[in-house]
């Protein structure tokens, strides 16, 4: 009968050393007569113990790697790495320094059982005097270099940097064990170290297990680093395609807020001065997400600016031209848009919308949605056309334009989301109503509480506020 094989786990080498608690029997002395032990183990017991230990270790690694694989953010993965590693090496505290060797970032330092002040104290130690610093700055942290740095008793160690000794005494750790975050495929990503309250070091079995785990974790972190870089790149491109500053126009104050989704979306806004001291305001959204949607958004916004300069006093004509361009150049894509022609001296607003949510008027005596005509999004019909509407703003009123992402991020049905938006506008404190930026911030935080305005979401959010003097 064949002996059972230990199970295989993806990314884990199943060859684990002999358990530390199993000891080989001593050989008999020369010339002596073997005497059977009174309680000798049955044949195969030692093999069963070893197999049981292997299965236990592989089960532990499988559970830990499964938990790590469920993390979808860098911070979450780094925290999980620290927790799992601490359990494997028997430490209580630790830190991980993410510093990719290609210099492209992102860089961060996260602690386990260490606050920001504690990490700040550790960072005052000369980098070359710390184990993680040596792993990051020398070939020890490169694939194929030294795999670990042990300090089993820092205070008994000769040549320890005085500042390191001072910080260790202040924070109450006496030993450390560090590993590089590097593999042949991922390169060098950083280093991690676990701290012991008393002189100690992991045994051979613990070092083997944590080494397997850290190699798997490094590959997972490499994938998350690429995702983070892509998201940062898309956010930068999206921001660069939007106005870097809002124009100054007599009689009106402007403010804008933009929250981009992790994949980069197609929500946009614009404000541009027009002839005869007029002002054009626009918000819109292109279907889809990712690079293609961002590129389409940039093309659409640039085209609308040109049409607004030529015929901005007629918002319907502006959107009709935009619809024709979209249908010819992006036949598989649709978009919503709203363009408003504002005359600040008269506080008069003429606007047209294509499948877009109505603006919100926020003032001392009224807070209401502007009446707009119902129309289809651009690119949905053979020929788009809808009548324009006019309204008069009062002195001190703010006109708030926004994209549907503000409503969709709430997770509520449309009617309830509109009610939440209206209630948020009503609740703007009187002291904030003179500042359109403060009005937009209050509405954003109230409609999307508990950090939903900053959390990752597939929906972009745009708010454009114009306060008339």
Tell how far CA 112 is from the center of its chain.
Answer: 20
Task: Give the pLDDT of the chain (469 residues) as one tens digit per residue.
Answer: 444 444 333 334 444 444 443 334 445 555 545 555 555 566 577 777 777 778 888 888 999 999 999 998 899 999 999 999 999 999 999 999 999 999 898 999 999 999 999 999 999 999 999 999 999 987 555 655 557 999 999 999 988 999 999 999 999 999 999 999 999 898 999 999 999 999 999 999 999 999 999 999 999 999 999 988 888 887 777 777 788 889 999 999 999 998 876 666 788 999 999 998 999 999 999 887 777 888 888 888 999 999 999 988 999 999 989 988 888 888 888 889 999 999 999 999 999 988 888 999 999 889 999 887 768 888 877 666 778 889 999 999 999 999 988 998 888 898 999 999 999 999 999 999 999 999 999 999 999 887 666 666 678 889 999 999 8
* 159/163 Cα distance (integer angstroms): 11
> Is CATH 3.20.20.70 the right assignment for the domain spanning 241-468?
no
For the chain, residues classed under CATH 3.30.450.40 are 57-233
Helix ranges restricted to H, 111-240: 116-123, 131-137, 162-171, 204-240
Helix ranges restricted to H, 114-201: 116-123, 131-137, 162-171
How many CB atoms neighbour CB 249 within 10 A?
18
- 342: nearest Cα among 272, 256, 244, 248: 272
pTM: 0.67
For the chain, residues classed under CATH 3.60.40.10 are 241-468
Instruction: State residue 70 phi and psi, 5-degree precision.
Output: -80, -10
388: left (phi over 0), alpha (psi -120 to 50) or beta: beta
| 433 DSSP 8-state letter | T
Is residue 468 within 8 A of residue 396, CB to CB? The reply is: yes
> CA-based angle 46:52:54, to the nearest 5?
105
> CA-based angle 44:48:54, to the nearest 5?
150
Strand partners, 392: 348
Residue 136 to residues 60, 179, 195, 323: CA-CA distances in angstroms? Answer: 29, 10, 18, 55
* 347/367 Cα distance (integer angstroms): 16
245 three-state secondary structure: coil
Q: How many CA atoms lie within 13 A of 373 on its CB side?
A: 18
In CATH, what class is 57-233? alpha beta
Strand partners, 331: none
């Amino acid at each position: 009968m064949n002996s059972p094989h230990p199970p295989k786990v993806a990314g884990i080498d199943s060859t684990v050393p002999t358990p530390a608690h199993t000891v080989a029997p001593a050989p008999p002395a020369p010339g002596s007569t073997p005497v059977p032990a009174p309680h000798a183990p049955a044949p195969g017991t030692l093999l069963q113990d070893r197999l049981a230990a292997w299965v236990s270790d592989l089960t532990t690694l499988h559970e830990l790697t499964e938990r790590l694989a469920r993390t979808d953010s860098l911070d979450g993965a780094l925290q999980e790495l620290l927790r799992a590693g601490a359990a494997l090496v028997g430490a209580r505290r630790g830190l991980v320094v993410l510093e990719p060797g290609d210099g492209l970032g992102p860089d961060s330092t996260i602690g386990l059982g260490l606050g920001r002040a504690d990490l700040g104290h550790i960072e005052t130690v000369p980098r070359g005097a710390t184990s993680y610093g040596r792993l990051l700055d020398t070939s020890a942290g490169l694939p194929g270099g030294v795999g670990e740095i042990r300090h089993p008793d820092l205070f008994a160690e000769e040549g320890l940097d005085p500042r390191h000794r001072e910080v260790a005494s202040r924070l109450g750790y006496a030993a450390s064990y560090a590993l590089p975050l590097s593999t042949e495929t991922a390169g060098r990503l950083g280093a991690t170290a676990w701290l012991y309250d008393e002189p100690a070091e992991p045994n051979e079995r613990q070092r083997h297990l944590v080494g397997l785990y850290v190699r798997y974790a490094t590959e997972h972190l490499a994938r998350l680093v690429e995702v983070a870089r892509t998201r940062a790149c898309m956010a930068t491109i999206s921001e660069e395609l939007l106005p870097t500053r809002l124009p100054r126009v007599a009689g009106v104050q402007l403010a804008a807020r933009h929250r981009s989704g992790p994949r980069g979306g197609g929500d946009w806004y614009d404000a541009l001065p027009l002839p005869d001291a007029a002002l054009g305001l626009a918000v819109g959204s292109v279907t889809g997400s990712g690079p293609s949607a961002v590129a389409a958004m940039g093309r659409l916004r640039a085209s609308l600016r040109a049409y607004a300069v030529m015929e901005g006093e007629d918002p319907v004509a502006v959107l009709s031209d935009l619809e024709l361009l979209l249908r010819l150049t992006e036949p598989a894509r649709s978009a919503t848009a709203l363009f408003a022609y504002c005359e600040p001296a008269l506080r008069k607003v003429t606007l047209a919308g294509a499948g877009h949510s109505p603006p919100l008027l926020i003032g001392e005596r009224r807070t209401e949605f502007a009446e707009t005509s119902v129309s289809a999004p651009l690119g949905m019909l053979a020929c788009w056309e809808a009548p324009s509407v006019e309204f008069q703003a009062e002195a001190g009123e703010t006109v708030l334009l926004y994209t549907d992402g503000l409503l969709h991020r709430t997770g509520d049905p449309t009617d309830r989301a509109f009610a939440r938006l209206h209630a948020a506008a009503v609740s703007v404190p009187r002291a904030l109503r003179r500042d359109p930026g403060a009005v937009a911030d209050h509405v954003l935080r109230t409609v999307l509480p508990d950090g939903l305005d900053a959390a990752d979401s597939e929906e972009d959010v745009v708010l454009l506020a114009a306060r008339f003097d």
